[in-house]
Amino acid sequence: MQNPENTAASTHIAVDLVLDTAYQNISAPQWEKLFTLARKSKLEEFIADMFAGKHVNLSEDRPALHSALRNLSKLPVMLDGKDVMPAVTDVWRRIEALCNKWVGVTDVIHIGIGGSDFGPRLAIEALAHVPGIESRGMRMHFLANIDTAELARILDRAQPNSTRVIIVSKSFTTLETTMNAKAVVNWLKDKDCTKGQIANSLYAVTANVSAAREFGIEQDNIFPFWDWVGGRYSVWSAVGLPIALQYGFKNFEKFLAGAHAMDLHFKNAPLEQNLPVIMSLALLHQQETLGIKAYAAIPYADALDWFPKWLQQLDMESNGKSIDRDGKPVKHSSPVVFGSAGSNAQHSYFQLLHQGSDVVPIDFIAVRKPMSDRPEAVAHHRILLSNCLAQAQALAHGKKAENPNDVYPGNRPSNLILLPELNAFYLGALLALYENRAASLGALWNINSFDQPGVEYGKVLAKPIEKALLGDSHVEANDNIDAVTAARINLLNS
């Protein structure tokens, strides 16, 4: 690697999170050019507009104001002339009240998919590993897939009389969610729960309150959020209710506080010190110089195994687009994102990362403190961290050898992101770091990071196909079903 930076130049710190870009192979003059490019792309103006509630989501003519959901500053956040904070604060108070109200609950079934699932699922999993965290020990079940495997497994374990159900859907029209919700209500009925018991058990989190009412949820059990919060940016709203219910409202507040601190950094730090901006420029550089098409996020923390899945939606739903904000074809957009916890990942796809024919940049995410208080924790953690550091070094420098099989090409860029420890605060900061990085990348690529029109067409086509799967007659290709799909339907129907 020609340009590994020295530590002083490559180490950036915000909200106690360290970003080390030494192995990005970007020289000082190249960094300078990148920051000039960011300024030319009006990145600073975009950041200011986003936090000011301007309609940066052009296609849907809305702001992207998820930052207001974690705005603990007591300062107003104005949207079209009205402060949104009283409504946000009211939901916080209701979440806190609910935490105090729920006693004797053994099971929570959280029904939601995509942005209504990944964030709370990741946080519940991650915080479960925090040594000594206060937890109410409820069984938290996440039901996302329409496949009944998940449903069956959950309903086998849950105790109907002490179960609470939270139906989470921004639109309240997502078929997976409404069908799973109906199935769970039927299960409660089958288990002889009374009407009153069922009404008390059902909660909703949604931006479509009337649809939740129509579904049969009591008004007092509905937690609203708003169309200015994108689904994949919604864990900070009542979508994150399970975090507060399981780990207490204080931990939920800490989660928000970590994200808020990262927002303040993103909003106020000069570009040269701004972590989300630096990360986005490094990725842009790798696209320009190495033509990268994929990147990996590898948390060296089992607790963060769900992080790459959350990130996949964030990055690829936000920036997986071929048309820019002006309707023109883009030069760059989101690479494919993948990852899983290290060191397990090393024993899976790291062969390709070291010696594959394509370069895949990596974010190594590590936590300074061990993730348990087992007597073995310190020794195991040292090995975990040494693996993380060794992989980055091997990828950067490669290895020469006589035998071509043993040659590592090197020059494979990576970041190191180091958390002091994993707790609600730093988890919030980490997620907001990546949310802001996605927004920054969108601004650099001139992509609207806040809509997702591409996921709709497949849903529309599923309807006539479902109808065809219901019938037992031979299906011919038609306007909605092509010859290949017709043949597959006939195969399934045979």
Residues that bind ligand F6P (CB under 6 A): 113-116, 169-171, 174, 177, 231-232, 317, 452, 455
Nearest approach, Cβ of residue 166 and ligand F6P (Å): 12
Are the C-beta atoms of 170 and 233 separated by less than 8 Å? no
**331 catalytically annotated:** no
Catalytic site residue from 331, 459, 467, 474: 459
Catalytic site residue from 74, 347, 376, 402: 347
Question: Which own/partner contact pairs does 28-37 have at CB distance under 8 Å and 24+ positions apart?
Answer: 30/3, 30/285, 31/272, 31/281, 34/281, 34/282, 34/284, 34/285, 35/271, 35/272, 35/281, 37/281, 37/284, 37/444
Toward ligand F6P, which CB reaches closer, 114 or 299? 114
DSSP designation for 57: B
Nearest approach, Cβ of residue 174 and ligand F6P (Å): 3
Whether the bond into 343 is cis, omega within 30 of 0: yes
Toward ligand F6P, which CB reaches closer, 21 or 237? 237
How many CB atoms within 10 Å of residue 233?
26
**293 catalytically annotated:** no
DSSP string for residues in 97-132? HHHHH--S--EEEEE--GGGTHHHHHHHHHHHTSTT
Toward ligand F6P, which CB reaches closer, 228 or 364? 228
Toward ligand F6P, which CB reaches closer, 114 or 242? 114
- Between strands 414-419 and 17-20, the pairing is antiparallel
Are the C-beta atoms of 271 and 43 separated by less than 8 Å? yes
Nearest approach, Cβ of residue 147 and ligand F6P (Å): 16
User: How many whole angstroms separate alpha carbon 1 and alpha carbon 13?
Assistant: 24
Alpha helix ranges (H) inside 331-372: 350-355
Are the C-beta atoms of 371 and 422 separated by less than 8 Å? yes
Nearest approach, Cβ of residue 190 and ligand F6P (Å): 25
Toward ligand F6P, which CB reaches closer, 116 or 449? 116
3-state SS record for 12-54: EEECCEEEECHHHCCCHHHHHHHHHHHHHCCHHHHHHHHHCCC
The DSSP bridge partners found for residue 57 are 62
**129 catalytically annotated:** no
Nearest approach, Cβ of residue 462 and ligand F6P (Å): 12
Nearest approach, Cβ of residue 169 and ligand F6P (Å): 3
Nearest approach, Cβ of residue 327 and ligand F6P (Å): 21
DSSP designation for 149: H
Toward ligand F6P, which CB reaches closer, 76 or 453? 453
Q: Which of 409, 390, 387 is nearest to 398 (CA)?
A: 409
Toward ligand F6P, which CB reaches closer, 45 or 214? 214
User: How many whole angstroms separate alpha carbon 116 and alpha carbon 177?
Assistant: 10
Catalytically annotated residues = 317, 347, 459
